[in-house]
């Protein structure tokens, strides 16, 4: 292609480019106008917003202030919450401490009641054997007062000493001083409450033991009081509290006195019963003596009158009639002398208050073999006394082995009782006059004391008892035969 051709082509291209640029310029102008219109529209629309960045900064500053305020409020809330939590934890710790103490007290009470229940069950099982005196041991009295009033006075002194210890707070003590919430006073208050609880439980146990003490369970009740003190002290070991040995000793002393005053009162009652029985016996003996003396006086008067009449009649009689009257006079004189002798004996017996009869009797059906009662009566007929003894108190009548008259009947009775003291059936009450001893030894003792032989009945007939045995054997015999036949 020639150079001109290239020029034309270039011109055409330039023209095309100019046209394009013109068109593009118009388009750009149109776009600028549209943009201007949009700017004007939005400028008019957002005329209230002076500066968006300034607004943003203002908003950020405001938000930052609110944030700092919220953080400060949150920190204050956290501080208050921490303070509340601290106060709550402190109150909870105090409540937990009180609950632990209360729980310890409740646990102590529960353990005590469980122990008490076990002890009561054990004691209940032992009650079936209370009749066996030896299972509890022999109680040796600690005091030797002459009257029950003296025992009562000593018992009251011991109880006053207990009250003084309670008042002085020496009945139960604590070995340490506790701090509760940092306060010694609060610790002492709770310690005193614990000591009161311990003493209440211990005193209740002691009162129950003292109220139930008897001759056959003194050692059991004493062990019960000691065990109560041991258990209560063990349950209070954590709190370092204990019942003092001095207070325990006073409670044991009260137990012993309470038992011994009962025994002394019973002894005094027994003495009074014995005196009343002796008075009744002496009154009965005196009535018998009075009746015997009156009867002897009546007999004396009757025989004296009959003798006087016979003597008057014999003066006018003769022959066989006179002989008959003389025989009657002789008989009347003999009977008058006998009546006068009876009267004199009655008078002498009334004057000699120690004269009487010592009797030796047995009751095989009631007391078994080789058990004898050695007693004394001042009655003219000693068998009346023996019959009284066998009336209702025993199932069978007594058998009499000997009735011994003595001018000093109480002395003879006392000598025999002393000789067989170690053979007494009842070694506690010496007023019970039963002895477990062979009859031969009683015979020997009586003869040695009297200085002369006394006749004894060696064999006890025990009629009612032996008949009862025979009737029982008769009822059993058909059963035995039936059993043999059946076999």
In the chain (487 residues long), the average pLDDT of successive 10-residue segments reads 61 69 74 75 63 68 75 77 79 80 80 77 57 47 76 90 90 76 73 86 92 85 91 82 91 90 81 67 68 74 75 67 70 75 64 76 92 88 83 84 87 92 88 91 91 83 87 62 44
- Are 297 and 265 part of one and the same domain? no
- Going by C-beta distance under 8 Å and a sequence separation of 6 or more, which residues neighbour residue 384? 284, 288, 377
Residues 303 and 219 in one domain: no
Domain that holds residue 316: 282-351
Q: Where are the beta strands (DSSP E) in 313-398?
A: 356-362, 371-377
Q: In total, how many domains does the chain have? A: 3
Are residues 256 and 368 located together in one domain of the fold?
A: no
**Which of the listed residues 300, 324, 351 is the one where a domain comes to its end?**
351
Q: Which of these three, 238, 269, 300, is where a domain ends? A: 269
Cα dihedral 9, 10, 12, 16 in deg (nearest 10): 140
Residues 322 and 384 in one domain: no
CA separation for the pair 447, 440 (Å, rounded): 11
Say whether both 334 and 422 belong to one domain: no
Task: Count Cβ atoms below 10 Å from residue 243 Cβ, excluding itself.
Answer: 23
Q: Is 147 within the bounds of a domain? A: yes
Distance between CA 377 and CA 466 in Å, rounded? Answer: 28
Q: What is the dihedral of CA 7, 8, 11, 13, to 10 degrees?
A: -110
Whether the Cβ atoms of residue 464 and residue 397 lie closer than 8 Å to each other: yes
Q: Look at residue 218 in the predicted model and tell me its pLDDT.
A: 85
- Separation CA 56–CA 90 (nearest Å): 50
Q: What is the DSSP letter of 128?
A: T
User: Do 251 and 164 share a structural domain?
Assistant: yes
From 351, 376, 411, the end of a domain falls on 351
What length does the chain have?
487
Residue 131 resides in a domain: no
| Residue 415 CB neighbours (<10 A) | 16
Residues 261 and 390 grouped into a single domain: no
How far is 136 from 131, CA to CA, in rounded Å?
10
pLDDT at 484: 36
Residue 331 forms part of a structural domain:
yes
- Tell whether 156 and 221 lie within a shared domain: yes
Whether 418 and 369 share a structural domain = yes
| Statement to judge: residues 223 and 333 lie in one domain | no
Q: Are residues 326 and 422 in the same domain?
A: no
User: Who's near 417: CB < 8 A, 6+ residues apart?
Assistant: 374, 430, 433
Whether 333 maps to a domain, the answer reads: yes
Based on the fold, state whether residues 145 and 291 are members of the same structural domain: no
């Amino acid at each position: 292609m020639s150079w001109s051709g290239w020029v034309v082509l270039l011109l055409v291209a330039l023209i095309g480019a100019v046209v394009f640029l013109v068109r593009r310029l118009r388009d750009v102008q149109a776009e600028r106008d549209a943009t201007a219109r949009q700017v004007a529209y939005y400028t008019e629309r957002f005329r209230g917003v002076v500066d968006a960045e300034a607004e943003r900064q203002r908003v950020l500053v405001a938000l930052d202030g609110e944030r700092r305020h919220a953080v400060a409020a949150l920190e204050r809330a956290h501080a208050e919450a921490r303070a509340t939590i601290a106060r709550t934890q402190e109150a909870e710790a105090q409540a937990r401490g009180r609950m632990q103490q209360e729980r310890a007290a409740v646990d102590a009470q529960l353990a005590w009641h469980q122990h008490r229940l076990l002890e009561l069950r054990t004691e209940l099982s032992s009650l079936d054997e209370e009749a066996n005196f030896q299972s509890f041991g022999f109680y040796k009295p600690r005091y030797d007062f002459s009257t029950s009033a003296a025992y009562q006075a000593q018992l009251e002194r011991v109880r006053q000493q207990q009250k003084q210890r309670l008042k002085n707070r020496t009945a139960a003590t604590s070995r340490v001083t506790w701090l509760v919430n940092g306060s010694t006073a609060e610790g002492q208050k709770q310690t005193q409450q614990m000591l009161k609880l311990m003493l209440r439980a211990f005193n209740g146990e002691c009162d129950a033991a003292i109220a139930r003490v008897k001759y056959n369970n003194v050692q059991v009740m004493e062990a019960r009081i000691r065990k109560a003190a041991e258990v209560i002290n063990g349950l209070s070991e954590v709190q370092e509290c204990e019942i003092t040995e001095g207070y325990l000793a006073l409670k044991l002393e009260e137990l012993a006195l309470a038992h011994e005053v009962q025994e002394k009162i019973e002894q005094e009652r027994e003495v009074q019963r014995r005196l009343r029985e002796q008075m009744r016996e002496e009154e009965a003996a005196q009535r018998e003596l009075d009746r015997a003396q009156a009867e002897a006086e009546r007999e004396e008067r009757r025989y004296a009158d009959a003798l006087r009449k016979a003597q008057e009649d014999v003066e006018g009689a003769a022959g066989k009639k006179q002989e008959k009257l003389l025989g009657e006079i002789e008989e009347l004189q003999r009977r008058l002398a006998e009546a006068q002798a009876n009267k004199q004996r009655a008078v002498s017996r009334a004057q000699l208050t120690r004269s009487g009869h010592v009797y030796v009797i047995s009751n095989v059906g009631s007391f078994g073999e080789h058990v004898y009662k050695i007693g004394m009566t001042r009655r003219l007929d000693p068998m009346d006394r023996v019959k009284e003894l066998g009336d209702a108190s025993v199932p069978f009548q007594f058998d009499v082995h000997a009735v011994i008259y003595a001018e000093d009947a109480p002395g003879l009775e006392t000598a025999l009782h002393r000789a067989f003291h170690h053979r007494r059936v009842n070694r506690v009450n010496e007023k019970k006059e039963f002895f477990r001893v062979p009859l031969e030894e009683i015979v020997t003792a009586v003869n040695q004391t009297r200085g002369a032989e006394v006749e004894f009945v060696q064999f006890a007939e025990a009629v009612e008892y032996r008949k009862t045995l025979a009737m029982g054997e008769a009822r059993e015999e058909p059963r035995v035969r039936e059993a043999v036949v059946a076999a």
